[in-house]
Structure 1
């Protein structure tokens, strides 16, 4: 985990207990809340960038069909195999 050996993680844990003592659960809860908020805001920024990239791509290629339209156009309207005619 993060390139730390088990001994290094134990040392960090002991230092955390010495520094925070009885408040360690509250500190960990607060850190988890801050991390969750950070991740949600980062995801929101990524979504905005993806939307801006999509709009820019669409503005540069206005006549290019979307994925859904191109999939519909790929299917032939007539069957590809000839109709079966029984032998006489």
Structure 2
């Protein structure tokens, strides 16, 4: 039902893009392409960082508790300061 667009649908999308952007269409397509390339580079960099963090040899220790932080004995709850009404009447 919602498969790849056929040639007729692509032609309609092209006509709408031409009507919307006119002579600026090559510029818009170029900037869109650059944006996609930058996005892919960013995703690839994140994937590389995750792979290095997950599969680095320094993370494979026989003692799994060596890298874990020690738990805190007491937890301190952060609260907002309480509102105190003014002592005198406004002037």
Residue segments in structure 1 that go unaligned for 5+ positions in a row? 63-88
Query: Which segments of structure 1 move beyond 3 Å, counting only runs of 4 or more?
Result: none
- The structural deviation recorded for 1:57 is 7.7
Residue segments in structure 2 that go unaligned for 5+ positions in a row? 64-91
- TM-score (norm. length: structure 2): 0.60
Question: What's the secondary structure of 1:3's corresponding residue?
Answer: coil
- The structural deviation recorded for 1:51 is 0.4
Q: What is the number of equivalent residue pairs in this alignment?
A: 61
- TM-score (norm. length: structure 1): 0.62
Structure 2 counterpart of 1:19: 20
Question: What's the secondary structure of 1:25's corresponding residue?
Answer: helix
Structure 2 counterpart of 1:6: 7
- The structural deviation recorded for 1:56 is 7.2
| Aligned-pair Cα RMSD in Å | 2.2
Question: What's the secondary structure of 2:56's corresponding residue?
Answer: helix
